[in-house]
Structure 1
Amino acid sequence: MKIFNSAQIHELDNYTIEHEPIASIDLMERAAKALSFAICEQWPTMVPVVVFAGPGNNGGDALAVARLLAIKGYQVSVYLFNIHNHLSPDCAVNRQRAIDSHQLHSFNEITLNFDPPHLDKDTLVVDGLFGSGLNKPLAGGFASLVKYINASPCEVVSIDLPSGLMTEDNTYNIHANIIRADLTLTLQQKKLAMLMADNQQYIGRLRVLDIRLSPEFISQTKARYTVIEENDIRRLLLPRDDFAHKGDMGTAMIIAGSYGMSGAATLAAKACLRSGAGKVYVHTPKVNSPILQTTVPEAVMSIDKEETYFSQPVNTADFSALGIGPGLGKHENSAIAMIAQVRGSQCPVVLDADAINILANHRAWIQQLPQGVILTPHPAEFDRLSGTGSSGCYDRLMKAADMAQHYGIYILLKGHYSALCQPDGDITFNSTGNSGMATAGSGDVLTGMVTGLLARGYQQREACLVGMYLHGLAGDMAAKDLGKESLMAGDLIRYLPKAFLRIEE
């Protein structure tokens, strides 16, 4: 699924109007019917509705929704803000339609002073002040209205976007001046802002309503941002030949673990095996060897000369992929061995956890990373790696995208919507996963999976996409059976076979 920017959203509307063809006012009516139907599904007719409409097309949508709800039997009060005595053409048409319907409880057009209505816990507010065209923070009277709505106990449904929230970059937005919706009904497709964790407080529950905008435009238009879905993953899966042997399925090396951190190595190794690699070696300090040989008997041990930490690079000439970092620790000898290992490896490399933390402590080493290396940081690890911190999720994402382009690497930024930042500048978001996966060891499982997929023969981009999707899918399937609260990292590995089977079937 593509995620368009605000300019492309406008172009999509215009293309649909021109090529369907359909009049813009009729397209607005189509959207209003979908919006009003969704509202009717959630709230019964005895709920009083207050509609706040702005002067643009988002306000036109809101006025059409008000009329349709009133016809269905809702008690609807409308407040249209026409401060500058200028409405968009379609908003003006819907203003007159709303008045002519004679179905509204009240219609108030605000041109100067505004006495806000009482909003109690039984009131439903329809927010149609501003949509995806907003390009600066709200101020003045509109900001005051937003604060008034947010302070009230009423429920709020926002049309397309909560008013005050910009489509993409909200880094310097004024957060107090953004509607906090209980439900956002967005049109045709998600907007980039909806994928940012720090914007979820404004969006509430999210529903995407199909209003039949041009599929031709959507398929032909290049988008920097996409969301990976099940059918995309199904097309990426490599077939397993019936006559294959373990040598055909690739050999992976996992370098992980230190004293007290054998669990990270265990999880990564098990996940690597479950992802289809023919053979998996684990290089770990001596102290962890008995544990790993007991917990992962399918893996081959490669024992470091040191008792408690990783200290020497491994010859990876015969390996198909290398994953390094889970539970590695940050001993200075481990740091030196890690960068030597990465520089000297000829196979694809995945860096996670302490490997990333080591790079954050030696930022000049980032320039020594080979092209195509994969980094899988969580937000705090990336902030340390970038060395500048972040001003929010969008800012972090842009820094990760810039770093991926500059160094020719892949950065899989983990989160609810994990984002793969690619060397060509494209960003792909994951659509699976849940909050139950916010538990120690989940990242180690992902590292093992991506490494195993690389060994199996996937290219870096495909290994990341398939890995993050199946990682989240396994989590979703585990949460369905076990609940989010009790989910552990090991459950992701146990449900990984079921995730593969679902995609394969």
Structure 2
Amino acid sequence: MKEPTIILLGSRVEEIDARCIAEGIDSRKLMYNAGKAVADKIISELLSGETKNFIKGLVICGSGNNGGDGFVAAMELLKAGMDIDVFCISQAEKFSADTRFYFEQINAASASKVVFLDISKKDNEELFAEKLAAGRFVVDAIFGTGLRGSKIRGQAAEIISLVNSAKQAAKLSKKDFTVYSVDIPSGVDSDTAALLGEAIKADVTVTFGCKKIGIALYPGRDYAGDIIVADIGIPQEHYRSYEKYYEANLEWVSSKIPARDFSTYKHSAGKLLVIAGSVGFTGAAAMVCQAAMRSGAGIVTLVCPWELNSIMEIKLTEAMTYPVEQTDDITLHMDAFKDILKLSAGFDALAIGPGLSRNPSTTCLVREILKKIKKPTVLDADGLRALYGPKEIGEDERPDLSHIVMTPHAGELSAILGVEKISEEERLKYNAFAADQYGLVSVLKGAATLITGPEKTVYINPTGSWAMATAGTGDILTGIIGSLLCQGVALTEAAVCGTFIHGLASDIIAPDTSRTAQIASDILEGIKKVFIKIEKLKY
């Protein structure tokens, strides 16, 4: 079974590098392995038969170890027969010992020598622009993981801007032009994924040892392009020994989905009780139920207000309905609790929240359910209002929520925690705080959805795109997670697998729908295709 991918802060990877070197691993060899990995990727993509001598490329190096990796890559590309120009944005006296070693090697090997760039000089700027326009690719080895916090200014910012402009011009003219970044795109903070002013917009990033937070979260992830993790000779146990984050993959997700055989029947396949919907929001309830059925739940029953029952029976074919007491606003009434409590005894898990409304009686009902029904539960949307306002619910009054997976977006999480706003850089911190404070699994939805359990393990979801920025996609996620919970998947694993399946379903269906035109119900079709892939791996 393939384990989840390890993700670390860039600063942690630097500590690991330093520790390994102190223990006797040759730093020069590590630099060589890194640079060769970049060159190997380029060679595998661009070399074909007799074309190699006609491939022109640029390698742009900084003064640090990232620049040394770039010098090695340039050397290997020259050996492969490519026409390579090497530019350096720093003076040689600033090089580290290893970087200087490979600079001297490339300088001896290259007929054109390394050009030290000073684009304030007209001839330098013209030469760089000429080579950039003629090149088939650029290797960005300007800044690595060591650049954190400080904004990029001056010549480095200008060069990055020129590379990005060249890429855009090539796209408009339909010219093949690829930007490869070494370890991380220059200008992306490896610890936070923030942009430090100008940043390289790479097509491919070859990163070393393990993936970094800077290219796992946004906006940095959007600048990395395709990510290749290359082994440079540091044993994996070193990465496992640090505080880490994880990224799921299809093989791992497949292993967590319960196996079935010919003795499986609807009751053994899992029974999910859905508590969702109100007047004007019947679609949310329907999508939860449909997603749950598509994700393998054997039986799905929807609890809904009396007056909506006929509508829901028309909208839902496979799921059953259970109408209960309603408010004057046609939402679920607090008085429905006894019926729900009795009904829940025959179910394995609950999905609560989508389309419930903000009616106070409905919110009180959800609070009572959370206190009294201790079955695995996914809590979303209006259901999350039961957790709002620390001033309303003191620590002593807060129910045990260890059976809960909640799925807020940033605005909902900020309301739950009583903070004004959660920025992109604060998502990791606040999601971990929520999971710890409430003792539950928190799924913070957004670009690179975060999943954190009370055990403090953090997963970063790699699937999905802006195609999912449409009403109803959260309801689909609630249904998928609820389905996995009722099938017996553990809370954190159900949250991770559900989020992965949700995003992958959107990705798979996007070629048929387009990302712009995709709507939430399209994802239901994508779920089928994901489970076809899962079954091929599983059986």
Give the TM-score, by structure 2 length.
0.82
Contact 1:412–1:418 (CA under 8 A) maintained in structure 2: yes
Structure 2 unmatched runs, 5+: 168-178
Q: Partner residue of 2:182?
A: 159
User: Is 1:254 aligned with 2:278?
Assistant: no
Q: Partner residue of 2:71?
A: 63
Q: Partner residue of 1:30?
A: 33
The structure 1 residue matched to 2:459, chosen from 403, 422, 428, is 428
1:38 corresponds to which letter in structure 2? K
Structure 1 unmatched runs, 5+: none
Q: Partner residue of 1:346?
A: 374
How much does 1:204 deviate? Answer: 4.5
Distance 1:97 1:80, change over 3 A: farther
Matches within 5 A, 1:136-147: 136-138=149-151, 143-147=154-158
Instruction: Judge which range, 274-283 or 214-223, deviates more.
Output: 214-223
CA distance in 2, matches of 1:183, 1:230: 22
How much does 1:206 deviate? Answer: 2.9
User: Is 1:295 aligned with 2:315?
Assistant: yes
CA distance in 2, matches of 1:219, 1:194: 17
Q: Partner residue of 1:211?
A: 231
| RMSD of equivalent CA atoms | 3.1
Q: Partner residue of 1:3?
A: 7
How much does 1:106 deviate? Answer: 4.3
Q: Partner residue of 1:371?
A: 401
Q: Secondary structure at the match of 1:64?
A: helix
User: Is 1:439 aligned with 2:490?
Assistant: no
How much does 1:376 deviate? Answer: 0.6
Q: Partner residue of 2:176?
A: none
Contact 2:463–2:504 (CA under 8 A) maintained in structure 1: yes
Q: Partner residue of 1:192?
A: 213
Matches within 5 A, 1:460-479: 460-479=491-510
The structure 1 residue matched to 2:104, chosen from 84, 96, 103, is 96
Matches within 5 A, 1:31-430: 31-40=34-43, 41=45, 49-71=57-79, 72-82=81-91, 85-108=93-116, 117-118=125-126, 119-120=128-129, 122=133, 125-138=138-151, 143-150=154-161, 153-155=165-167, 156-169=179-192, 175-181=196-202, 183-200=204-221, 203-217=223-237, 220-221=240-241, 223-306=243-326, 308-312=330-334, 313=337, 314-315=340-341, 316-357=344-385, 359-360=387-388, 364-365=392-393, 367=395, 368-372=398-402, 373-390=404-421, 392-430=423-461
How much does 1:391 deviate? Answer: 5.7
CA distance in 1, matches of 2:277, 2:391: 23
CA distance in 1, matches of 2:271, 2:27: 58
1:350 corresponds to which letter in structure 2? V
Instruction: Judge which range, 124-133 or 43-52, deviates more.
Output: 43-52
Q: Secondary structure at the match of 1:394?
A: helix
How much does 1:326 deviate? Answer: 0.5
Distance 1:114 1:383, change over 3 A: farther
Aligned length: 497
2:314 corresponds to which letter in structure 1? T
Give the TM-score, by structure 1 length.
0.87
Q: Secondary structure at the match of 2:181?
A: strand
2:490 corresponds to which letter in structure 1? Q
Identity %: 27
Q: Secondary structure at the match of 2:267?
A: helix
Q: Secondary structure at the match of 1:282?
A: strand
CA distance in 2, matches of 1:159, 1:391: 31
Contact 1:251–1:279 (CA under 8 A) maintained in structure 2: yes
Q: Secondary structure at the match of 2:332?
A: coil
How much does 1:385 deviate? Answer: 3.0
CA distance in 2, matches of 1:102, 1:477: 45
Contact 2:351–2:479 (CA under 8 A) maintained in structure 1: yes
Contact 2:193–2:217 (CA under 8 A) maintained in structure 1: no
